[in-house]
Amino acid sequence: MPQKQKPKSWTELKQAGNECFKTGQYGDATSLYSQAIRELEKSNKKNPEDLAILYSNRAASYLKDGNCSECVKDCDTSLELFPFNVKSLLRRAAACEALERYRHAYIDYKTALQIDCNIAAAHDGTNRMTKALTEADGPSWREKLPPIPTVPLSVREKLAQRAAGGAPQQNLAPQQNLARQQNPPQQQNPPQQQNGIKKTDKPAPSEKDMKKAQALKEEGNSLVKKADHKKAIEKYSQSLKLNPNEITTYTNRALCYLSVKQYRDAVRDCSEALRMDGGNVKALYRRAQAHKELKDLKACVDDLNVLLKVEPKNTAALKLLQEAQKKK
For the chain, give the percent of residues with pLDDT over 90: 51
| Burial call 227-244: b when 16+ CB within 10 Å, e when fewer | eebeebbbbbebbbebbb
| Burial call 29-45: b when 16+ CB within 10 Å, e when fewer | bbbbbebbbebbeeeee
Of 93 and 153, the one with more pLDDT: 93
Of 169 and 274, the one with more pLDDT: 274
3-state secondary structure of 112: helix
Domains along the chain with CATH numbers: 10-163 (1.25.40.10), 207-327 (1.25.40.10)
Query: Are residues 102 and 133 in contact, defined by beta-carbon separation less than 8 angstroms?
Result: yes
Task: Tell me the residue type at 227.
Answer: A
Provide the pLDDT for residue 171.
34
Residue 163, pLDDT above cutoff 50 = yes
**Residue 142: CB atoms within 10 Å:** 14
Helix ranges (H only) for 226-314 are 229-242, 247-259, 263-276, 281-293, 297-310
Provide the pLDDT for residue 178.
35
The pLDDT tens digits for 216-231 are: 999 999 999 899 999 9
Mean pLDDT of the chain: 82
The pLDDT tens digits for 56-74 are: 999 999 998 889 999 999 9
Residue 194, pLDDT above cutoff 50 = no
Q: What is the mean pLDDT of residues 255-275?
A: 93
What pTM was estimated for this model as a whole? 0.52
CA distances from 156 to 94, 163, 187 (A): 22, 10, 11
Provide the pLDDT for residue 203.
61
For the chain, give the percent of residues with pLDDT over 70: 83
Is residue 193 within a helix (H) or strand (E), and if so which, with residue range? strand 193-194
Nearest-CA neighbor of 70 among 95, 98, 40?
95
Nearest-CA neighbor of 208 among 266, 166, 154?
154
Residue 174, pLDDT above cutoff 80 = no
Confidence of residue 185 (pLDDT cuts 50, 70, 90): very low
Task: Tell me the residue type at 267.
Answer: V
